[in-house]
Amino acid sequence: MFDFLNTSLYPFIKSIRLTDIIDIILVAFIVYTVIKFIRQTRAAQLLKGIAILLAVMYLSDWFQLNVINFILLNTMQIGLTALLIIFQPELRRALEHMGRSKFGNLLNFDDNSSGIDMIDEICLAVNSMSRCKTGALLVFERRTKLDDMLTGGTLINSDISSELVENIFVPNTPLHDGAVVIRDGKIYKAACVLPLSSNKNLSKEFGTRHRAALGISEQSDCVSLVVSEETGRISVMTNGDMIRNLSVSSLSRLLNKLVAEPEQDKTKNIKFWKARDSK
């Protein structure tokens, strides 16, 4: 045993450099991050399907099923291009996630000094709308621009005031149906149509307004705020998760953490309700 360690294992260990250790650690971290990201998306199911096709292709070759093997083999030749098309939403989300990381924040020079005043005005409006059960949907844009995810909408580009926000969501007015998008401390657009959530397990108690708020939060780093038209309850969504039944004071503290100080990722310290079917 000693001879084996001395002749085989010791020279191998001696040949390992510090850069090799760093290289292995980085590769392990990247693989772990990719697997963790895939598990949170629909890509996991697609990868299972691809794995099954590969298994069938090799089995067909082993059992000499020439026709099936020929079809699968030629299909796999264009597999890379097909994967880029199939996984386009996931790849885009991954790249945006990298841009929102601590390294990406080094290039972020936005001034958020007016965030607290903006949140105060929003909370005043939400308090009033919650009491009178006026439905509302507001989206706070953070680092990811939302233009290519928005459909329609009327450009406003106005300073935020509680009176203006309440007036936009007055029922039967031209701009009340849709989302208000807030960018750089101003009301950017109103009456915007948002992509709906892809979560099939979402409870039926949530209507289009909540599904749209969840949908936009699944595809970007924005923060969505919903006032229920039926109950007047206040909900906030981010990263595809939801926190429900907020009081106005709780809403103010939450928005200050998520919106007024977006350069600090504090979502890990906030307990979100996972969007699922509540039975």
CB-CB contact of 263 with 105 (8 Å)? yes
- Please count the CA atoms within 13 angstroms of the CA of 184 that sit on its side-chain side: 7
- Break the chain into its structural domains and give their ranges: 2-107, 115-274
Q: Which of 32-36, 111-115, 271-275 has the highest mean pLDDT?
A: 32-36
Instruction: Lowest mean pLDDT of 1-15, 25-39, 146-160, 238-252, name the range.
Output: 1-15
Which CATH topology does 115-274 take?
Answer: YojJ-like (1 (3.40.1700)
Convert the pLDDT of each residue in 63-111 to its tens digit. 888 888 888 888 777 776 776 776 676 676 666 666 655 555 444 444 4
**pLDDT: is 25 or 92 the higher one?**
25
Q: Are 246 and 257 in contact (CB under 8 A)?
A: no
Strands (DSSP E) found in the chain: 136-140, 151-159, 179-183, 186-193, 223-227, 234-238, 241-243, 273-274
Are 249 and 242 contacting, i.e. CB atoms less than 8 angstroms apart? Answer: no
Of 31-40, 147-156, 181-190, 267-276, which gets the smallest average pLDDT?
267-276
Question: Phi first, then psi: what are they for 109, rounded to 5°?
Answer: -120, 25
| Burial class of 251 by CB neighbour count within 10 A (0 to 12, 13 to 18, 19+) | buried
Distances, alpha carbon 197 to alpha carbons 7, 88, 97, 275, in Å: 60, 17, 19, 10
